[in-house]
Amino acid sequence: MEAGRVFQLLQEAGLKTAHFNRVYRQKDPELKAVVLHLRQGQTDQALQRLNEQGRLHEYSNSRERYAEIAKAYVASPQGTLVVSPDNDSRRQLNTAIRDEMRKQGSLGQETYEVSILVGRDLTRADTKRASSYRIGAGPTCRRHDIDPQLYFTQLLVNLPGLPSSQWLDWLPD
């Protein structure tokens, strides 16, 4: 049975169905009209309305687009959320926003670099293949048998005086 088919069968058998046909979230009538067009699958009309309202902006390249997004963010950061589709554009947007904040004086000139671990979404089979790992890549841990209240970290450390790197399993008290 295909996904969703069970609900169709239940409806055909007489199950009462609730339909959401009002838009409550959008208070601005112009944006509410756009949402209604989108809900009805009328993307062209929705984009046309947004364009008429001056809410669409087109830029010839990503650098120019990111700079404008950064200016808009810095002008009104409270409650503003910047969304990007991938890690590369996220990094570029973060850089553009921080640069703009420095220009405006809302962020200091000093910078600090901090390494973070980013999940690689390896399958269980991938974790067992040496080709899945690169020199300098962080550790991978998929232990599901650990109490979720505990934090488990596997660290590769280079300590002065030790003959070589050692893997340490660390469970805090």
DSSP per residue, the chain:
--TTHHHHHHHHTT----------S--SHHHHHHHHHHHTT-HHHHHHHHHHTT-----SSHHHHHHHHHHHHHHS-TT-----SSHHHHHHHHHHHHHHHHHHTSS-S--------------HHHHT-GGG--TTPPP-----SS-TTS--EEEEE--TT-SS-EEEEE---
Q: Which pTM does this prediction carry?
A: 0.51
- Amino acid in the structure at residue 165: S
Q: Do residues 157 and 168 make contact, with C-beta atoms less than 8 angstroms apart? A: yes
Q: 120, 99 in Cβ contact below 8 A? A: no
* Residues 101, 104, 110: CA angle, nearest 5 degrees: 55
Q: What are phi and psi of 21, to 5 degrees?
A: -125, 15
The count of residues in the chain is 173
Question: What does the pLDDT read at residue 155?
Answer: 39
- Can you give the pLDDT at residue 170? 40
Digitized pLDDT (tens) for each residue of the chain, 173 residues in all: 577 788 888 889 998 888 777 888 888 999 999 999 999 999 999 999 999 999 999 998 999 999 999 999 999 999 889 999 998 999 999 999 999 999 998 888 887 777 666 667 778 788 777 777 777 665 545 555 544 444 334 334 444 444 444 444 444 44
Sorted by where each begins, the domain ranges of the chain are 1-56, 58-114, 124-170
